[in-house]
Structure 1
Amino acid sequence: MPLIENGHIVEDKYVRVSDEDALPEGVPVLVGVDRFLKEAEALKGRQAPVGVIWPNNRPIAEIAPYLGQLSLIALNFPIFRDGRAYSQARLLRERLGWTGPLRAIGNVLRDQFLLMQRSGFDQIEAVKEADAEAFDEAVHRYTVFYQPATDERPSLLRQRLGRTLTGAAR
């Protein structure tokens, strides 16, 4: 599957390792939450980056004590109509202060790219190559937003307040 990072198709440097397989030395790994929590102490001493696949049915606050040892968090979209990972992404960015890479995996569709980006995802594992190529168009389709989000684009209210405050200061 193609990996989109900040709008560009990139090579995935992380190797997904199942719970039963040995961790390869010297390469970034992406492990499941059960393995990560069981081996968290041992993984601290690892010389290569470690990422975790966090399921959307587990409270995201549980990851807080481990944020310092992670280099990537992947949130899962098991089916297209299950959006709990959007909430997890915003909580990670806004409340827990996660600034590292946040990856959307699973059933990721083209029409969700903009919301994923606005929710805080900077990596998206696209289902098809064509979807990855359409990323730029998808995230620039709209220029005005009513809701505030984790991205830098201001909401319509913030834009209007800015003009009002600037006009009042003259």
Structure 2
Amino acid sequence: MPVIIKNQKVISDTYTFYSSYTSGDVLAERSIIPIDDFLANPTQFEQHSGSLGVWLDSHHEPEVLSSYIHQLAVIAINFPSFTDGRGYSIARVLRERLGYQGELRAVGDILHDQLFYLKRCGFDAFKLHAEKDPEEALRGLNAFSISYQGASDHPQPLFRRRLH
């Protein structure tokens, strides 16, 4: 069974990831479908509210989900290349501007040394390529013990935080 890293643990992935969806296809109980297929007719997915996710490519604007943000259990952002950083900005917009509270999953070409920074932007789940070792990648989440800048995970910069 495929695995993901979620909340700093390696767990089984309970979602079925669809690269495309055609109206009338039968979805698995927990599904992640392309954003364009979702937006083509969002009302057809109302019965899946709470168990449905969508995935965006780095060229999509996250604001198109603003009307549906609270009915989506998962939003996955695809990184087509580890050098494509647009997904970081999409995550910040989803968390900070749109107030998304559900699972935010990074998928695609992500490297273990990027996980710490992805977490800082609001990601809480990571789907690695099958050939990557999730236990090794898990160590990347704690590559640094403290950060100076404010971000989604710690909004205040270090000089504003009280250290004990």
The alignment's TM-score, normalised by the length of structure 1, stands at 0.84
Aligned residue for 2:92, secondary structure, equals helix
Match of 2:13 in 1: 12
User: Structure 1, residues 68-120: CA drift from partner, whole Å, max 9, x if none?
Assistant: 22111000111011110101101111111101000000101111010011111
Measure, in 1, the Cα distance between the counterparts of 2:14 and 2:69: 20
Give the aligned length: 161
Given residue 55 of structure 1, which amino acid in structure 2 is its aligned partner?
D
Measure, in 2, the Cα distance between the counterparts of 1:106 and 1:136: 16
Residues 68-107 of structure 1: pairs in structure 2 closer than 5 A: 68-107=70-109
Structure 2: runs of 5 or more not aligned? none
Is 1:125–2:148 an aligned residue pair? Answer: no
Structure 1: runs of 5 or more not aligned? 164-170
Shift of 1:133: 0.2
Aligned residue for 1:134, secondary structure, equals helix
The answer to which structure has the higher helix fraction is 1
Measure, in 2, the Cα distance between the counterparts of 1:120 and 1:81: 18
4+ residue runs over 6 A deviation: none
Match of 1:2 in 2: 3
- Calculate percent identity across the aligned residue pairs: 33
Contact 1:77–1:107 under 8 Å retained in 2? yes
Alignment partner of 1:58 out of 42, 57, 60: 60
Measure, in 2, the Cα distance between the counterparts of 1:28 and 1:129: 24
Aligned residue for 1:145, secondary structure, equals coil
Match of 1:23 in 2: 26
Measure, in 2, the Cα distance between the counterparts of 1:19 and 1:130: 27
Shift of 1:10: 1.1
Measure, in 2, the Cα distance between the counterparts of 1:114 and 1:13: 23
Contact 1:144–1:155 under 8 Å retained in 2? no
